[in-house]
């Protein structure tokens, strides 16, 4: 009888070591590119008052296992209009005479109905340019593979 076998114990040890190191690797590798993404998003964001630009932050959570580029503060939108600017949405004057009515401080106000706002993706572009597969995520994967081979 001929038999071949492989001992997976060394590989299992490497995986366990890597699992312990992953939060540190994740932060060490992605923090510099995340800060670049933050700067790019701030630079690409439209500016009227500067509030949107100031709200853009790169951070980590979940024991450094989740990287975020966001305009959230304490889990809540810091600038509620950020999503409309990033993704577009309903708004903008239509000029066709249709009106929308809103009750503000107990008084009804009428405004022109709108056709929409064109998207201006400043966050998504910054994320993809810096953290996407070809950048931060790719660097992280390369480092993980390098440590598995060692």
pLDDT of 97 over the 70 cut: no
DSSP per-residue string spanning 36-66: HHHHHHHHHS--SSSHHHHH-EEEEETTTTE
pTM beyond cutoff 0.85: no
pLDDT of 96 over the 80 cut: no
Please report, for residues 1, 10, 25, 62, 116, the alpha-carbon distance to residue 17 in angstroms, rounded to integers and kept in the order given.
37, 11, 12, 19, 52
Q: Which of 33-47, 51-65, 98-112, 126-140 has the lowest mean pLDDT?
A: 98-112
């Amino acid at each position: 009888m001929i038999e071949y076998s492989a001992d997976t114990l060394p590989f299992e040890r490497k995986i366990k070591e890597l699992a312990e190191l992953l939060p540190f690797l994740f932060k060490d590798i992605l923090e510099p590119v995340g800060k670049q993404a933050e700067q790019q998003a701030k630079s690409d964001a439209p500016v009227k008052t500067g509030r949107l630009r100031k709200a853009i932050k790169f951070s980590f959570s979940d024991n450094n296992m989740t990287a975020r580029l966001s305009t959230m503060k304490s889990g809540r939108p810091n600038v509620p209009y950020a999503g409309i600017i990033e993704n577009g949405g309903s708004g903008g004057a239509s000029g066709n005479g249709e009106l929308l009515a809103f009750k503000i401080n107990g008084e009804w106000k009428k405004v022109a109905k709108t056709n929409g706002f064109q998207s201006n993706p400043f966050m998504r572009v910054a994320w993809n340019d810096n953290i996407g597969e070809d950048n931060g995520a790719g660097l992280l994967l390369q480092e993980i593979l390098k440590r598995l081979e060692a």
